[in-house]
Amino acid sequence: MAAGLAQRFAESKFIFEVGMMALILEHAKNFMKQTESRTATFDKFSKSLDATIARIKNAWNEFDQSLYNIKVKTCRDILPFQPTTSSSTRSHNTTCDKMNADRFTEQELKTFADKLIRGTLSAINQRFGNDSRIVIDNVSMFTQLNDFEDDEVLMNPLLQLYCKPMHYEHQGVDQTKYERTDEPLLSFQKLKNELPQTRVIVDSAINDIARRNKNDKKKEDVCLLDITKSIAMHAQYLVPEWFKLYQIITTLPIGSNECERSFSAVRRIKTKLRNSLSTTALETAVKFAILKPSVTENDLDAIAKNFYQYPGRAKARNITMYVKDNEEHSDDDID
């Protein structure tokens, strides 16, 4: 049995399939890492997906033929030679004969690669099919607002959804039905009135972002998050309804990874030995653990000074503070 498994693993087709799948899965892993970024939005997700599909289609050209030949030769060199007996019901070919017969031309390998690539792309299309594409396209419209007419923008399905009342129905375990209707999140009339001004502001935001980055960015390279930040800094009071819409579509979750990070951070921070943290302290610690902001020495000094200015905090936490006066020790006193 062991010899049969060794022979199976040493087949050139099996080695080729493993190499191709490793190449394809590497691209898929990079795509997942990119989409799990905290700044990932639906328009970025769409670009990452298209780029990954294009890379997978090119997997055959990236496949290292020389490395494949080396691995096949190595497997055949170390594979044990085990001739079969005449009374065996198995094939009378020896292992070496099978290995010599197990040779494929480059065209045959390309056929195997095309089959693997088509299967992978089919799985991607099933996972991110037409419905997902419709949602992504509807979101991406707001990064290229000036490329569409007013009627096209105002009839966007997502915009229409948030301008209608939200009705919920729920049936409890006691078979009681609960219903609730919430007010629309956005006002369609306000969005319509603010649209001309929003076009000017979005176009200005795209130009400002390109100028700030000191390169000629194309419009499709500017993401929703960049536009939302620009509106928040310069125009949130000019187009409040559109600013609210951009906040909503920017925070639409792509996956559940952010929630999972939050729960994991809570489990790490709030333990049995540290279970008396206040809600504010726990929230701050979790945000710090998830966002991982860059903290400089100046930031640490500012935090320490702020803590020192309120001695009651240290007393409440049973902390003794020792303050060193740097002015008493000059550089001349140090040997």
* The model's pTM: 0.56
| CB-based burial, 164-192: b 16+ in 10 Å, e otherwise | eeeeeeeeeeeeeeeeeeeeeebeeeebe
Look at the alpha carbons of 94, 96, 98, 101 in this order and tell me if their dihedral is positive or negative. negative
* Range of weakest confidence among 51-55, 117-121, 167-171: 167-171
Give yes or no: residues 77 and 13 share one domain. yes
Give yes or no: residues 103 and 188 share one domain. no
* Six-digit token string for 121: 């792309």
pLDDT at position 333 is 44
Confidence of residue 215 (pLDDT cuts 50, 70, 90): low
Q: How many domains does the chain have?
A: 3
Give yes or no: residues 77 and 193 share one domain. no
**What is the overall mean pLDDT for the chain?**
78
More confident: 169 or 193: 193
The answer to whether 93 and 61 are in contact (CB under 8 A) is no
Amino acid at 22: A
Confidence of residue 3 (pLDDT cuts 50, 70, 90): low
Average pLDDT over residues 176-197: 91
Residue 203 placed within a domain: yes
Place of tokens 């693997």: 116
* Six-digit token string for 169: 């129905």
Give yes or no: residues 244 and 276 share one domain. no
Place of tokens 């309804």: 241
Closest CA to 225 of 186, 251, 201: 251
Residue 208 placed within a domain: yes
| CB-based burial, 45-83: b 16+ in 10 Å, e otherwise | bbebbeebbebbeebeeebeeeebeebbeebbeebeeee
The answer to whether 13 and 112 are in contact (CB under 8 A) is yes
Give yes or no: residues 93 and 53 share one domain. yes
Over 60: is that where the pLDDT of 208 sits?
Answer: yes
Over 60: is that where the pLDDT of 218 sits?
Answer: no
Residue 258 placed within a domain: no
The answer to whether 201 and 209 are in contact (CB under 8 A) is no
Give yes or no: residues 14 and 78 share one domain. yes
Residue 60 placed within a domain: yes
Give yes or no: residues 8 and 122 share one domain. yes
Report the distance separating Cα 143 and Cα 223, nearest Å. Answer: 6
Give yes or no: residues 161 and 234 share one domain. yes
Report the distance separating Cα 251 and Cα 225, nearest Å. Answer: 9
Burial class for 139, CB neighbours closer than 10 Å (0-12, 13-18, 19+): buried
pLDDT at position 187 is 93
The answer to whether 31 and 55 are in contact (CB under 8 A) is no
Give yes or no: residues 76 and 146 share one domain. no
Over 90: is that where the pLDDT of 36 sits?
Answer: no
pLDDT at position 188 is 93
Q: What is the pLDDT of residues 253-282, one digit of tens each?
A: 776 777 787 888 888 888 888 888 888 888
More confident: 176 or 259: 176
Q: Which of 128, 157, 186 is the last residue of a domain?
A: 128
pLDDT at position 6 is 64
pLDDT at position 244 is 92
Average pLDDT over residues 187-208: 89
Residue 259 placed within a domain: no
Closest CA to 254 of 75, 160, 128: 128
Give yes or no: residues 233 and 307 share one domain. no
Give yes or no: residues 48 and 164 share one domain. no
CA distances from 37 to 32, 80, 253, 260 (A): 9, 48, 11, 13
The answer to whether 17 and 116 are in contact (CB under 8 A) is yes
Residue 184 placed within a domain: yes
Give yes or no: residues 7 and 120 share one domain. yes
Domain extent at residue 278: 271-328
Q: What is the pLDDT of residues 71-111, one digit of tens each?
A: 888 877 776 555 545 544 554 444 455 545 556 777 888 88
Residue 70 placed within a domain: yes
Residue 319 placed within a domain: yes
Q: Quick one: DSSP state of residue 203? A: H
More confident: 135 or 142: 142
Average pLDDT over residues 127-156: 82
Confidence of residue 334 (pLDDT cuts 50, 70, 90): very low
